[in-house]
Chain A
Amino acid sequence: MLVGVVFFVFLINFINAIDRMKNRSLISINDYTTEEYLRILDTAEDFEANPRQSLLNGYVIASLFFEPSTRTRLSFESAISQLGGKIVGFSSSASSSVQKGESLKDTILTVNNYCDLIVMRHPLEGSARYASEVADVPIINAGDGSNQHPTQCLLDLYSIRKTQGKLDNLNVAFVGDLKYGRTVHSLAIALSGFNTTYHLVSPVELKLPSAVKHYIKEKDLTYHQYTDLEEALPHVDIVYMTRIQRERFSDPMEYERVKNSYVLTRNLLKDVKQNLKVLHPLPRVNEISEDVDDTPQAYYFTQALNGVYVRMALLTTILGIK
């Protein structure tokens, strides 16, 4: 009897969780609870085991990319195609009425009539949140300027869980541009729900901003700061690499001085933990040398593949199919 009641309560909570996510836009990493993220990751796992399902038959998804993107746009479009959905949209502002001076509001209100969901990337920060206010259909933010890129964060979490078998109690190194990298900020915040120990490796100019450190301190988590990558590597399970851009430095001499200190080479991976995996949101330029690509630690291209499963999970959850 008791088992029956417990199962019934679990079932009701599960159905409520599905209902709460249905038709809800995903704009910022803070829009979903930890439980909701985990549900998406579980669904993504199902898709990885069986990606070709005709779940989006009869659905039309708008893919509005107001600025260029390779991985995010193609992985969304691949996810939609593999599930049998149709895609309408554009891959740059130049091929839309934005070129004629159309406002974002008018574009969204128009496209809204032609689809069941909008995936959107835009160079201005806050554009996706605004679109979600204007549209009747849900919006998935595929990047709004330097603000948020929540689907990247979800695929990063998925990749970490897949390679380590868990998300809790891991040592994660963030390397490179920790000041401006939106993927670093989102992932660092999301991991604060999993008792992570942070190893922050960056030049002094590009340290993690205090607004992000606030989330780490709020949960009383440990973080270590380094300017030397080699020093951090023996302690960590995950290395999350990012690119350091020349234009971030006020003094070009300073860039020249530090640029090679944050390059991961095969040689540096000699004495690392066995379970260590290297992640990168890509594109890389030279921060991971090509001789790392065929080491057991290299995971960044599989990480990009995981983006397809995570996006399948998001699309079907938000449309109320899964």
Chain B
Amino acid sequence: MGKTIELEIFRYIPEIDEQPAYRSYEVEFEDDWVILDAINHIKDKMDGSLSYRWSCRMGVCGSCGMMINGIPKLTCATFLKDYYPKKVKVEPLLGFPVERDLVIVMDDFMTKLENVKPWMIRDKDKEKTIDKGEYLQSPVQLEKFIQFSMCINCLLCYSACPVYVVDNNFIGPAAIALAQRYNLDSRDDGQDQRNEYIGKHEGIWDCTFVGECSKVCPEDVDPAAAIQQAKVTNTQNFVKSILWPFGGKK
């Protein structure tokens, strides 16, 4: 038979609870169980009132991020056996309001994501008609941004970022990395619009390169690198705009 591990889970049901509380569950598990398996087991067999987000259980959808013993993780990719025999403390992602139990309110991130315009922006006069063919991109051009396109919006990086957790005004790792993903795309012309947004104080300049966002990222996006590179580009643009007032932005 399997071993038994204790999960201490953050509970908050807004209709009933004034304050959140922790509740413990003893779960029998096999070595191939991830934390999400145990939470599903609790929901199905022990306590149906538990709420949390999940979908794909294979590290693609980005919805099952939680704080595991204080560190943001995808629960579908974190094994119970790595914690056994110690107990596992499960909390909602840090830095966000809690809607219910392990479910966080994502509105703040959604607004920021929209503000960085994570889609292709093209100058009108550069548009081709369909019969002229597709917009070609070389492997080298692809390599410049492909890494930053892997983001699954799981928000682990936000919870790992002390700057964001302390001050929610910070635009944050994932949104800026996605801005860079489009800024570095050879088919895109929207750099000026995006840089105007991420170039604010609450944008790239608030980042102090703690680097934890990149460490917790399940897809190796490296948002910290994206932010520093954006700082370099913005600084260069600034210097150019002083030295060459007429063509600084190009």
**Do A and B truly interact?**
no
